[in-house]
């Protein structure tokens, strides 16, 4: 049984939180360590579920993973990489989406990859067709077994020309992790260029890879036969930073997010300013606060980088329920990322979902059966409710709605939130939130 939270709302969140390495980079950087012929050290590693899953998958494959007891830095030594049993690998079925990225590195290091069925948030179909097509183009043979997928490359992975139908983050990473040690040159067009991808490229370059990023979403990789280990400090989590920023707005609070990096959050900073949020931007973090008075409504479209990140959308929608007037949000990255609004509506928000593209650019989900646009009319007071957390960002959004609401909410399924938010309830506690936790063993506590 997962923990249950009883939240008494109406208390502005105030104080400091520290944000560490990005969830959407760290597990992939750990996978990259498999490509080196010497140990790699990764710094600024958060204690989140995906790190645990990848640690275990690496260990199952013979890679030693040592955690510095003081800093939490990870040192990974791939010297004894070996095949693992599919039964052991399958213990991670449904845990995460990261295992699909082990394919290229495992083929390079041990000649074969077996990956479990994937997990991850239910925010759309989340197919892996781009990944499998990329692997096939490198010369891999993909065999879907009853449970899991087996991948081999009888003639090794060979550089190739790849064009992605959509700038997928994961498929771009799949290309990078497969191409750096493939024979010959790989040219990828239609690549994603999120800051986490650029940080992964920086890691691979430290290891000895030759990768150039052109201005037109083209990435060129000249394969090399050997890579060494790396020493790298992961970029901070811009999605967690933006989530705490929205939490400050929703609860009328004031949060200094230590580690928030303006450079990676420019689009968010613009949006936060337009809605009427207050900010002090420093080199070591950003103070996000509610300035008092009314928040302003917005018309917003999510997009790939440098657009407004889809992972910022859900917490910001909660803030828009508190803005005076009508806001429109068009989600163009995932077809089904508004499921979390049902609970907000029960709490008193006025949110209508539409199938049409209500943004300036028609997206690939228009004229289909996906409710991917939202009209939010505010401001509406929120009242406490019973909520079950649906996914990572939706769960965070529900929590901040409960913290802003009048009355008491009961929130179940909160362990999903720890997939991407390090020490989540301890941070809430530090910000003055009023809640109790009932642990799985039935004991009540504060964290």
Where does this chain bind ligand EPU (CB under 6 A)? Answer: 23-24, 97, 121, 124-131, 166, 168-171, 192, 194, 239, 310-311, 333-334, 392-393, 420
Count, residues in the chain: 447
Q: What is the dihedral sign for C-alpha 260, 262, 265, 268?
A: positive
Q: How far is the CB of 328 from ligand EPU (least distance, A)?
A: 20
What single-letter DSSP state applies at residue 364? Answer: T
Q: Catalytic residue, from 103, 121, 357, 363: name it.
A: 121
- Asked if 17 and 400 touch (Cβ cutoff 8 Å), the reply is no
Q: How far is the CB of 399 from ligand EPU (least distance, A)?
A: 14
Q: Which 3 state secondary structure label does DSSP give 204? A: helix
Distance linking the first and last C-alpha atoms of the chain:
16
The residue written with tokens 């179940």 in the block is: 412
Q: How many CB atoms lie within 10 A of CB 259?
A: 20
Pairing mode, strands 149-152 and 112-115:
antiparallel
Nearer to ligand EPU, 241 or 295 (CB): 241
- How many secondary structure helices (H) and strands (E) does the chain include? 13, 24
Q: How far is the CB of 393 from ligand EPU (least distance, A)?
A: 5
Q: How far is the CB of 84 from ligand EPU (least distance, A)?
A: 22
**Closest residue (Cβ) to ligand EPU?**
170
- Is 121 marked active-site? yes
Q: How many CB atoms lie within 10 A of CB 175?
A: 28
Q: How many CB atoms lie within 10 A of CB 283?
A: 7
Q: How many CB atoms lie within 10 A of CB 23?
A: 24
Nearer to ligand EPU, 306 or 445 (CB): 306
Q: How far is the CB of 329 from ligand EPU (least distance, A)?
A: 15
Q: How far is the CB of 50 from ligand EPU (least distance, A)?
A: 7
Retrieve residue 127's tokens: 């197919």
Q: How far is the CB of 385 from ligand EPU (least distance, A)?
A: 23
Nearer to ligand EPU, 40 or 314 (CB): 314
Taking CA atoms, 112 is separated from 43, 59, 140, in Å, by 29, 16, 10
What single-letter DSSP state applies at residue 272? Answer: H
Q: How far apart are CA 28 and CA 41, in angstroms?
A: 13
Q: How far apart are CA 212 and CA 205, in angstroms?
A: 10
Q: Which 3 state secondary structure label does DSSP give 271? A: helix
Q: Give the residue numbers annotated as catalytic, written as ranges.
A: 121
């Amino acid at each position: 049984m997962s923990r249950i939270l009883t939240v008494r709302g109406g208390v502005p969140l105030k104080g400091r939180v520290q944000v560490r390495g990005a969830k959407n980079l760290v597990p992939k950087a750990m996978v990259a360590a498999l490509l080196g012929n010497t140990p790699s050290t990764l710094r600024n590693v958060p204690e989140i579920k995906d790190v645990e899953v990848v640690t275990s998958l690496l260990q199952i494959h013979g890679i030693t993973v040592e955690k510095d007891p003081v800093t939490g830095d990870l040192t990974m030594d791939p010297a004894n990489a070996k095949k693992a049993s599919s039964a052991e690998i399958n213990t991670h079925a449904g845990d995460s989406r990261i295992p699909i990225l082990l394919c290229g590195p495992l083929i390079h290091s041990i000649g074969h990859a077996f990956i479990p069925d994937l997990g991850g948030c239910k925010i759309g179909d989340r197919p892996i067709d781009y990944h499998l097509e990329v692997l096939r183009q490198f010369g891999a043979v993909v065999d879907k077994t009853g449970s899991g997928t087996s991948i081999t490359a009888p003639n090794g992975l060979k550089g190739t020309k790849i064009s992605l139908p959509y700038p997928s983050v994961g498929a771009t990473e799949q290309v990078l992790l497969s191409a750096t040690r493939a024979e010959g040159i790989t040219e990828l067009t239609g690549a994603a260029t999120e800051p986490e991808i650029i940080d992964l490229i920086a890691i691979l370059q430290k290891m000895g890879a030759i990768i150039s990023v052109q201005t037109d979403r083209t990435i060129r990789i000249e394969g090399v036969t050997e890579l060494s280990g790396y020493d790298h400090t992961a970029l901070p989590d811009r999605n967690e930073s933006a989530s705490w920023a929205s939490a400050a707005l929703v609860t009328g609070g004031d949060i200094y997010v230590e580690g928030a990096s303006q450079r990676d959050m420019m689009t968010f900073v613009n949006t936060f300013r337009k809605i009427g949020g207050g900010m002090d931007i420093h080199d070591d973090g950003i103070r996000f606060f509610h300035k008092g008075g009314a928040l302003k409504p917005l018309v917003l479209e999510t997009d790939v980088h440098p657009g407004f990140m889809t992972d910022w959308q859900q917490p910001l929608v909660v803030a828009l329920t508190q803005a005076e007037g009508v806001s429109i949000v068009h989600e163009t990255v995932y077809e089904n990322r508004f499921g979390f609004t049902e609970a907000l509506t029960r709490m008193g928000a006025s949110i209508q979902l539409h199938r049409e593209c209500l943004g300036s650019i028609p997206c690939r989900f228009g004229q289909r059966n996906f409710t991917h646009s939202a009209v939010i009319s505010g401001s509406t007071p929120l009242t406490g409710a019973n909520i079950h957390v649906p996914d990572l960002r939706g769960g965070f959004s529900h929590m901040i709605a409960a913290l802003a609401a009048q009355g008491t909410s009961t929130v179940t399924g909160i362990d999903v939130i720890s997939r991407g938010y390090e020490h989540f309830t301890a941070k809430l506690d530090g910000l003055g939130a009023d809640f109790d936790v009932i642990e799985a063993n039935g004991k009540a506590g504060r964290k």
